[in-house]
Every structure is written in C-alpha cells, then in structure tokens.
Amino acid sequence: MIEFKHVSKKYANQITAVDNFNLKIQQGEFVYVIGPSGAGKSTFIKMMYREEKPTLGQIKVNEYELEKIKNSKIPFFRRELGIVFQDFKLLSKLTVFENIAYALQVIEKDPVEIKKRVNHVLKLVKLVSKGAAFPAELSGGEQQRVAIARAIANKPSILIADEPTGNLDPETAEGIMKILEKINIQGTTVVMATHNSHIVNEFRHRVIEIENGHVIRDQDEGSFFQDE
C-alpha cells in the first residue's frame, strides 16, 4: 500500500515539482503515471522509494512512514521495493546471473538458495539461456528483462518503474509489458511512469495524470488522452 497525504515537494531552486498530492495505491494495483516532461512524475516516484523527501505531508509505503523513517532503516524499507529504470543500470562487468545474484547476496547468504531464486526469475523473463552473457551482449529488450528480473528477485511487494520502455522499440516494449502484467497478476503492485501512449491504451490500467505538479486526472482503466 502506498499513501500520499498532502504531499508537496519544493526543490532548493523554489520549483514546486509536486503540489499537494493525496492518493492511495492498494496492494496489487497496476498504476501508470503520465504527463508531459517536467510535470513531476519522477519526483512523485522518487518520493515513493525515499530518494527524495517531501517538503510537506506524509507518505506511507507498506508499514513505513517515510517522513519518520530513520536512515538506518532505509535499506530494510528498500528491500520491499523493486526499482527499474529506463537505462537499465546493469553492472557491465558482471554476467546476467551475477547481476541478479548480487542483489540477493546482501539479504540471502545461502548460495544454493540464491542460485534457485536467480534461475526462477530468469525463467520468468525468459532469459535462462543468457545467464552467462554480459549485458553488452544483449539487446535493449533483453537488458531490460534482466533489470526486471533483478528488481523482483527478492520478491518485493511493489515494483516501481520509471520509463521502463523508453529506449525500446514498440514490439520489445510490449514484451516488457507482458512481463510486468505477469508480475502484477502474481500480487505485486506496479507503478510505472511512461510517455508511451500506445502501451497505456493497449494495456489498460489506472492512470494518474500529472501536469505542472498537480494530479489532473486519476482514472481506472484510463486511456492516455482524457477523452479517448
């Protein structure tokens, strides 16, 4: 569960990127965050994983009240989240298998368990045969699938994705969406910022539209454009 109560974020340059957000995302929902460049989408999403702190208001993610959370607790909080970026952020010197295992070594010490879990998520994103490959040997779509596998390896309750299909061609983007939907159907909340109107219209989910730091629309099964 994610809850924003009267949340605003004003950066040091006095820009108010997010102005009085009040909303709730229930466990298991799939939510798109849309809006033009500079609208406040990334700021909204970064506050969910405590990369940015709000200037005003309260944010609750699962059992954590983010305005009160101690720095020492942040790593534990982050373990409940999986995060995926437009540019994948894979470690280039590690293989696919190692990229995913690395994320688990912090919390799971048993190498047998780690191996099992890595193989399970590789199967889910259909990349078992690429475990020994390095990121540079993969296509963009494959790299994003590795990034998703890594993000879900420790079974997060929430998967946050900032423009996950931004660098991918339409067909590859659809493949990524099918994986995100599969993860969502298994119970994971998915919050995805996107500019991709085709994806939003084809795979219908709740749409939170932001403009100039304001939520201007919050609609179940919404389309990309309000009147479609």
Give the binding site for ligand ADP (CB under 6 A).
11, 13, 15, 17, 35, 37-43, 137-139, 141-142, 172
Rounded least distance, CB 72 to ligand ADP, Å: 24
Under DSSP, the state recorded for 68 is T
In the bound state, the residue with its beta carbon closest to ligand ADP is: 139
Distance CA(204)–CA(199), nearest Å, equals 8
Two structure tokens written together for 102: 């690395």
Which of 108, 133 has the CB closer to ligand ADP? Answer: 133
Whole-number minimum distance, CB 213 to ligand ADP, in Å? 7
Please, what is the minimum distance in Å from the beta carbon of residue 142 to ligand ADP?
A: 5
Q: How far is the CB of 49 from ligand ADP (least distance, A)?
A: 14
Give the nearer residue to ligand ADP in terms of CB position, either 84 or 104.
84
Q: What is the 3-state secondary structure (H, E, C) of 152-198?
A: HCCCCCEEEEECCCCCCCHHHHHHHHHHHHHHHHCCCEEEEECCCHH
Least distance between ligand ADP and beta carbon 103 (Å): 21
Closer Cβ to ligand ADP, 30 or 44, answer by number: 44
Cβ closest to ligand ADP, residue 172 vs residue 223: 172
Minimum CB distance to ligand ADP smaller for 28 or for 166? 166
- Residue matched to tokens 């995913």: 100
Q: What is the CA radius of gyration of the chain?
A: 18
Contact 193, 210 (CB under 8 A): no
Q: How many CB atoms lie within 10 A of CB 90?
A: 19
